[in-house]
Amino acid sequence: MKTTVLDASAMLALFFDEPGAEKMEHLFQAASEADRPVFISAVNWAEVLYKTERKHGKAGLETARQFERTTPLEAVPVDRELAEAAALLKNKHGLGLADAFAAALAKHKKAELVTADHEFKAVEKEVKIHWLK
């Protein structure tokens, strides 16, 4: 199994049963079977949490937290190196700030970035992208 980084849209597809949810279920099943983490930056995880709470209230927020505690999802803290890499990608490609953190983490880990957000087309030459839809 490849090293995988998620952006918020990938997790939201799973949580909101959007196109790509089934692919995300398979990804987490494969990661569990291989005992491999699936990474998301803390910035992107914050985006998932606030959008989940906004859509489903406190129960949705707790469901997301429970998912993170019981699956191979690993929220990666932001340090200076990741912040600087995200800033460079944001300026170079015009990404949103949270998207820049996802791309920077994928680049740092030499990982495949799983997303449903076509804004990442701008970084396809620097980061391997797996499109959910």
Q: Is 130 exposed, middle or buried (0-12, 13-18, 19+ CB in 10 A)?
A: middle
For 83-133, the pLDDT digits (tens) are 999 999 999 999 999 999 999 999 999 999 999 999 999 999 999 999 998
For 23-73, the pLDDT digits (tens) are 999 999 999 999 999 999 999 999 999 999 999 999 999 999 999 999 999
Q: Taking the model in full, what pTM does it have?
A: 0.95
- Interior CA angle at 112 toward 109 and 115, to 5°? 120
Domain definitions of the chain by residue range:
4-131
> Which fold, 4-131?
Rossmann fold (3.40.50)
Instruction: Tell me which residue of 5, 2, 19, 1 sits closest to 86, measured CA to CA.
Output: 5
Count of CB atoms within 10 A of residue 31's CB? 18
